[in-house]
Amino acid sequence: MNQVVTERPEGLSVTAACRALGLNRCTVYARQREGLSEEQRIANRSRTESVQPRALNAKKRQRARDVLYSEAYQDQPPDEIYCDLLEQGEYIGSVRTLHRILAEDRAAREHRHQRTAQHHAIPRLLATAPNQVWTWDISKLPTAGQGPYLSLCVVLDLYSPYVLAWMVSRKENSTLAQQLMTEGAARYAIVHGSLTLHQDRGAPMTAHGYLDLLHELGIVCNHSRPRTSNENAFNEGQFKTLKYPPDYPGQFENASHARQWYEAYFDWYNFQHHHSGIGGYPPEQVFTGRLELVHEQRQQVLDTQYRRHPERFVQGAPVAPRPPEWVTISPVTPEAADTGESLGVNFPTLSAARAPVDNTSSST
């Protein structure tokens, strides 16, 4: 077969001949080299394998090695050595040659201590009832003039999404985060091991004292991946909702002003705001279970209207919407399910998940 390829018609490439004969081109080349003499092998060497005529001889390469490994230059890169030797009136080779010599000796490496690449698992959380998964985040609030920013901490229930606790402070640290979680766990009587808390990787969320407190409270700690803000999208969406009402001041005079405004806002948000992500119910009704009575009342109104004017409902009898049965963070997509991704938990697919962002700013 190699002879057939060698004696191929003029104008026919080796690749085309190998493809027609069903041969591997690399195998053909290897078998052709088997019959070559030593002189022919040397002549056919690639440029990288052959000795370059302009290369330093053995004596000069040894001189370069002595300089590179000397006490004065053993911790310096070739660029530093090259420039310093030029100032002293000496030339032992180009910078590239010095790099090449170090690479041959396997001495070219990173001398600084580098952290190895980090691989973080995708956080996948599922809530089918209140107080199963909480999420929290911190947002900055501008103050009037050139004053410092205030920090607004908000803790949400993933399923509801009811604002469980909030705090306005002049600074951001783990001590305040510990106070927030301690009071929240006590207020809602969280049973040891029954709650998962999701957050990003800010300094207060990764402090050792804060993590130790969550362990003592029996709260499972879960973090978003670095630089992946959409894994805490529920809090991000809630922050947009709270910063776009018509009466939002934009800038606060001080911390007392911010607390006063947000006290009224969160009261509206929890008890009056008809949240589009949970079927138009206020978060408090979903959190406490009162939505069943409200849903029955809504359905009765729709049924009465349908009996009076059925022609107005072209798609049949109307059904009052209900909140989703479950809410997820980073649900399994159909593509990931096809690849056999296993999480130990049966998660619904993305097509049925609730949209995590509520950008409405009114209770219509």
Angle 238-333-335 from CA coordinates, rounded to 5°: 150
Alpha-carbon span 161 to 238, nearest angstrom? 9
pLDDT at residue 183, rounded to an integer? 93
Q: Which value, to the nearest 10 degrees, does the dihedral of the CA atoms of residues 35, 36, 41, 47 take?
A: -80
Mean pLDDT of the chain: 84
Q: Which value, to the nearest 10 degrees, does the dihedral of the CA atoms of residues 324, 152, 272, 134 take?
A: 30
Tell me the three state secondary structure of residue 102. Answer: helix
Give the residue carrying structure tokens 């010599």.
Answer: 101
Under a CB-based contact definition with an 8 Å cutoff, are residues 152 and 167 in contact?
yes
Mean pLDDT value across residues 233-251: 90
What string of DSSP letters covers 272-300?
A: T--BGGGTTB-HHHHHHTTHHHHHHHHHH
| Residue 166 pLDDT greater than 70, yes or no | yes
User: Which residue has better confidence, 108 or 212?
Assistant: 212
pLDDT at residue 37, rounded to an integer? 72
* Torsion region of 200: left, alpha or beta (phi above 0 gives left; psi -120 to 50 gives alpha): beta
For 183-198, what is each residue's pLDDT tens digit? 999 999 999 999 999 9
Mean pLDDT value across residues 105-109: 83
Mean pLDDT value across residues 205-230: 91
User: Which residue has better confidence, 88 or 339?
Assistant: 88
Give the bridge partners for 156, in sequence order: 135, 163
- 1 band by pLDDT with thresholds 50, 70 and 90: low
Provide the residue type at 52 as one letter: Q
pLDDT at residue 6, rounded to an integer? 73
Under a CB-based contact definition with an 8 Å cutoff, are residues 263 and 277 in contact?
no
Sequence-ordered list of residues with C-beta below 8 angstroms from that of 103, at least 6 positions apart, any chain: none
| Residue 301 pLDDT greater than 90, yes or no | yes
For 6-36, what is each residue's pLDDT tens digit? 777 888 888 888 888 888 888 888 777 776 6
For 253-300, what is each residue's pLDDT tens digit? 999 999 999 999 999 999 999 999 999 999 999 999 999 999 999 999
| Residue 348 pLDDT greater than 90, yes or no | no
SS (H, E, C) 23-80: CCHHHHHHHHHHCCCHHHHHHCCCCCCCCCCCCCCHHHHHHHHHHHCCCCCCCCCHHH
Tell me the three state secondary structure of residue 99. Answer: helix
- 122 band by pLDDT with thresholds 50, 70 and 90: confident
DSSP E strand stretches across the chain: 125-127, 133-141, 150-157, 163-169, 195-199, 219-223, 327-329
